[in-house]
Chain A
Amino acid sequence: MSAADLSALQRPNDRLWRRRIVNRLMELLAWVAAALAVFFLGVVVWSVAKKGASALNFDFFTKPYAGVDVPHQGLANAFVGTFVIVGLATLMALPFGILIAIYVNEYAPKAIRGAVNLMLDVLAGVPAIVIGIFVYSLIVVTHGQSGYAGAFALAVIMLPFVARATIEVLALVPNSLREAALGVGAPRWRVTLGVVLPQTIGGVLTGATLAVARVAGETAPLLFCSSLATPGTHWNPSQPLQSVPVQIFELIEQADQQSYAMAWGAALVLILFILFASLGARWLATRSKRKIARAFK
């Protein structure tokens, strides 16, 4: 190719110019869309922080809610209630989710594997209020509201998240490891428990953390299952427990400045918790994936 041809390549012509414009335009659109998403998140966090920060003090975390117009009170009852309910829900969902994942990945034939995966996806998409009604008719109608009922409802919501996350990491464990363990004459369950599962702890914790972050703010099922709490801070889940999202809902319904501020304060705590839980989960996920990759390169 001669030098003259090269200079022709560099000379802008009409079509090339239009392509460049379109290219730039699309890039700009994508950038704006991404920026908008971050912008709205920023606005939400900023406005919640602005309105809620003033409510945060020592009393806010240590004293229970005592009613409208009481000075020096807090939401300890709601924090404790959420802690107990979500903790119990995790204790219920984690073993079941792991067992489902073990069945799907280690034992199930292909057809059942696909079906279970599909069902987990559907379950993950079921609106929380539907699960609330389900647990209401199953437990609350006969046994009344309780922390257990609320925890059960949240566990149902958590289950698909835990199971899917565990299935994903189980699939990363190479077959050569299972063969190695089977080769010394170990039965399947020992192989799964002793060799395969220990490789997946990081991934399982990631799924559990994401699921906790997801259900910590869940309001609808708790309205049915655990909202008629008596005043004061309670740890016993056999009675209805207050929770952060339900408390926010109730505070916002009061026509009163202090209640508003406390609602925003609780919202801020909830957002920060979810933010840090998600960050922690991502850190755990990359760490455990790197660990598995290093072990089986």
Chain B
Amino acid sequence: MAVSSTIEAAVRVEPKRQPLPPRERLEQVFDIQDLTAIYGSKPALKDVSMEVYRNLVTAVIGPSGCGKSTFIRCLNRMNDLVPSFRQTGTIRYHGQDISGKDVDPVAVRRTIGMVFQRPNPFPKSIYDNVAWGLKVLGMKDNLSDRVERALTQAALWDEVKDRLKSSALGLSGGQQQRLCIARAIAVEPDVVLMDEPASALDPIATQKIEQLLHELKSEYSFVIVTHNMQQAARVADMTAFFSISRGEEGERWGELIEYDETEKIFTAPSDKRTEDYVTGRFG
């Protein structure tokens, strides 16, 4: 039994992962306390408390409708755009609460970038896609160097360096998504949030994106939502498992079930629901 579970673990979890230092020695980026998110009168997420650590990839997994996307959109105030949205609880970012009304969401998003589920490049040239954010934020010195650096970091430079002036819409889906990553990291954010960044991509493009996460996490902290457990096992240092809870009157909301090192979540989860999910018995 011990042998089979070890084999299972070896197949699932990246062997090259370094063991994490103890959590109290990791630097916190986010400290989330009792986060509840409500659309209209329906709670999408209840009482989530967890920390996100610096220079790690933190994965958020769980079945559809468990509030994973809602959760990461709270981290850079993206839900502000939804008129009926409300949230309670606190989200401290390096110690400062960013969920209050007095905090400028634009300033929050400036340091906490985002990559979306479907590649959404601007209908501009490849160069302008990366340069636009830099121009808007006043990072105009060495503009073309910055663009080149971002495209190189996103492993796209070699593919596009000869056609920087052509439209980004002519790129393949995987290239477009890497362009979106370049656009996000060009403005030198502290954290990059990724909402199922590979769900619209083929396996090879997916692999490239995952490779990028490994290479870039020394410079950025990543929070990645995925419904693909293998992806979480491959890329994440820490994994949060969200699930759907049902109330007495049939109402449903998302909840954080378990949050731990990825290896522990996938090999020795402490909650039965996590185990059912990661072993494929549910979801």
Among B81, B116, B136, B169, contact of A295 (Cβ-Cβ < 8 Å):
B169
Within 8 A of A (CB), among B176-192: 180, 183-184, 186-187, 189
Question: Among A8-16, A172-180, A275-283, which stretch is in contact with chain B?
Answer: A172-180
Residue B76 at the A interface, CB < 8 A?
Answer: yes
Residues in B neighbouring A184, C-beta threshold 8 A = 109-110, 113, 132-133, 136-137, 183-184, 186-187
- Alpha-carbon distance between A198 and B128 when the two chains are bound, in angstroms: 14
| With known contacts A190-B136, A295-B169, A180–B120 Cβ distance under 8 A | yes
- Alpha-carbon distance between A110 and B133 when the two chains are bound, in angstroms: 30
Residues in B neighbouring A199, C-beta threshold 8 A = 123
How many residues on chain A are close to B (CB under 8 Å)? 24
Within 8 A of B (CB), among A99-139: 109-110
Chain B CB count within 10 A is highest, among A195, A199, A294, for A195
Residue B91 at the A interface, CB < 8 A?
Answer: no
Mark A161-186 against chain B: 1 for CB-CB distance below 8 A, else 0.
Answer: 00000000000000111111111111
Question: Which B-chain residue is minimally distant from A190 (CB atoms)?
Answer: B136
- Alpha-carbon distance between A123 and B123 when the two chains are bound, in angstroms: 35
Residues in B neighbouring A296, C-beta threshold 8 A = 123
- Alpha-carbon distance between A185 and B188 when the two chains are bound, in angstroms: 11
Residue A194 at the B interface, CB < 8 A?
Answer: yes
Residue A187 at the B interface, CB < 8 A?
Answer: yes
B186 to chain A, nearest CB (A): 8
Residue B125 at the A interface, CB < 8 A?
Answer: no
Q: Are A186 and B133 in contact (CB under 8 A)?
A: yes
Residues in B neighbouring A109, C-beta threshold 8 A = 83
A174 to chain B, nearest CB (A): 8
Residues in A neighbouring B121, C-beta threshold 8 A = 180
Residue B93 at the A interface, CB < 8 A?
Answer: no
B263 to chain A, nearest CB (A): 31
| With known contacts A186-B106, A186-B133, A186-B136, A181–B83 Cβ distance under 8 A | no
- Alpha-carbon distance between A179 and B106 when the two chains are bound, in angstroms: 12
Question: Which B-chain residue is minimally distant from A292 (CB atoms)?
Answer: B123
Residues in A neighbouring B115, C-beta threshold 8 A = 183
- Alpha-carbon distance between A190 and B136 when the two chains are bound, in angstroms: 7
Within 8 A of A (CB), among B137-177: 137, 169
Mark B111-130 against chain A: 1 for CB-CB distance below 8 A, else 0.
Answer: 10111101011110000000
Residues in B neighbouring A182, C-beta threshold 8 A = 78, 81, 106, 109
A297 to chain B, nearest CB (A): 9
Mark B24-54 against chain A: 1 for CB-CB distance below 8 A, else 0.
Answer: 0000000000000000000000000000000
Among B107, B110, B180, B186, contact of A180 (Cβ-Cβ < 8 Å):
B180
A169 to chain B, nearest CB (A): 14
Question: Which B-chain residue is minimally distant from A291 (CB atoms)?
Answer: B123
Chain A CB count within 10 A is highest, among B78, B81, B123, B169, for B123
Residues in A neighbouring B189, C-beta threshold 8 A = 185
Q: Are B120 and A179 in contact (CB under 8 A)?
A: yes
Residues in A neighbouring B111, C-beta threshold 8 A = 185
Q: Are B137 and A185 in contact (CB under 8 A)?
A: yes
- Alpha-carbon distance between A195 and B189 when the two chains are bound, in angstroms: 21
Residues in A neighbouring B109, C-beta threshold 8 A = 182-185
Q: Are A194 and B132 in contact (CB under 8 A)?
A: yes
Task: Tell me the B residues contacting A by CB distance below 8 Å.
Answer: 76, 78, 81, 83, 106-107, 109-111, 113-116, 118, 120-123, 132-133, 136-137, 169, 180, 183-184, 186-187, 189
A-B contact pairs, 30 of them (CB 8 A): A109-B83, A110-B83, A176-B118, A177-B123, A179-B78, A179-B114, A179-B116, A180-B120, A180-B121, A180-B180, A183-B76, A183-B115, A183-B116, A184-B109, A184-B136, A184-B183, A184-B184, A184-B186, A185-B107, A185-B110, A185-B111, A185-B136, A185-B137, A185-B187, A185-B189, A186-B137, A187-B136, A190-B136, A194-B132, A194-B136
Task: Tell me the A residues contacting B by CB distance below 8 Å.
Answer: 109-110, 175-188, 190, 194-195, 198-199, 294-296
Give 8 closest A-B pairs by Cβ, nearest first.
A185-B110, A184-B133, A183-B114, A176-B120, A295-B123, A180-B120, A186-B136, A185-B109
Known A-B contacts: A180-B120, A186-B136. Give 16 more (CB < 8 A): A176-B118, A181-B132, A182-B109, A183-B76, A183-B113, A183-B116, A184-B110, A184-B132, A184-B184, A184-B187, A185-B110, A185-B136, A185-B187, A187-B136, A194-B136, A195-B132
